[in-house]
């Protein structure tokens, strides 16, 4: 495992990428074994943001969705703690290819990763986890070294 000598990079994860290793994976709750381990080193702080997702929903009404990611610190949401990196409103019977115009970044909790776990939850799942029928297909994340004056949205859109 080698340390990264870059200021930002992208990781795209597919919900069905590691089913042969993690047989309990679903489209809404899955772990992906990375092709190359990520080592962020020890000298800099890093943050991560969701750039893009592809998903489909259940036939129920529109509901807020929580995108949870195991590489960030837990946060309080009501009387629960979750590793929520982003929330958004998902409409019924929708195929969703969503690019987030405002990339919200969250500080990273760990420095080294071999596996990454994703959960796709609704508010109702926090009270009584039913493992939602929402179906996540793809996530695209941007990992960025924290530097003064950096704009994560410009970085994501390819601007210096």
Mean pLDDT confidence for 27-46: 86
Rounded CA separation 132/130 (Å): 6
Q: Over the stretch 93-130, which tens digit does the pLDDT of each residue have?
A: 556 777 878 888 888 888 888 999 888 777 666 654 44
Q: Which of 45-49, 69-73, 105-109, 155-159 has the highest mean pLDDT?
A: 45-49
21, 32, 49: which is closest to 115 by C-alpha?
32
Lowest mean pLDDT among 49-53, 69-73, 111-115: 69-73
> 116: which residues sit within 8 A by CB, 6+ positions away?
11, 13, 31, 32, 34, 69, 70, 71
DSSP string, 45-105: -EEEEEEEEEEE--SS--EEEEEEETTB--EEETTEEE-EEEEEEE-TT-EEEEE-SS--E
116, 142, 143: which is closest to 34 by C-alpha?
116
Global pTM value: 0.74
Domains defined for the chain, CATH in brackets: 8-148 (2.60.120.550)
> In the chain, how many H helices and how many E strands?
2, 11
């Amino acid at each position: 495992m080698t340390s990264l000598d870059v200021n930002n990079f992208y990781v795209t994860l597919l919900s069905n990428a590691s089913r042969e290793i993690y047989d309990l994976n679903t489209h809404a709750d899955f772990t992906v074994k990375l092709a190359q381990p990520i080592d962020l080193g020890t000298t800099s702080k890093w943050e991560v943001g969701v750039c893009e997702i592809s998903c489909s929903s259940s036939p129920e009404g529109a509901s807020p969705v929580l995108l949870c990611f195991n590489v960030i610190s837990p946060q309080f949401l009501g009387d629960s703690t979750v590793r929520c990196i982003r929330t958004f409103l998902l409409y019924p019977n929708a195929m969703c290819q969503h690019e987030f115009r405002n990339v919200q970044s969250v500080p990273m909790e760990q420095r080294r990763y071999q596996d990454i776990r994703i959960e796709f939850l609704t508010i109702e799942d926090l009270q009584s986890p039913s493992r939602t029928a929402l179906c996540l297909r793809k996530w695209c994340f941007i990992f960025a070294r924290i530097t003064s004056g950096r704009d994560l949205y410009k970085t994501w859109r390819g601007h210096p």
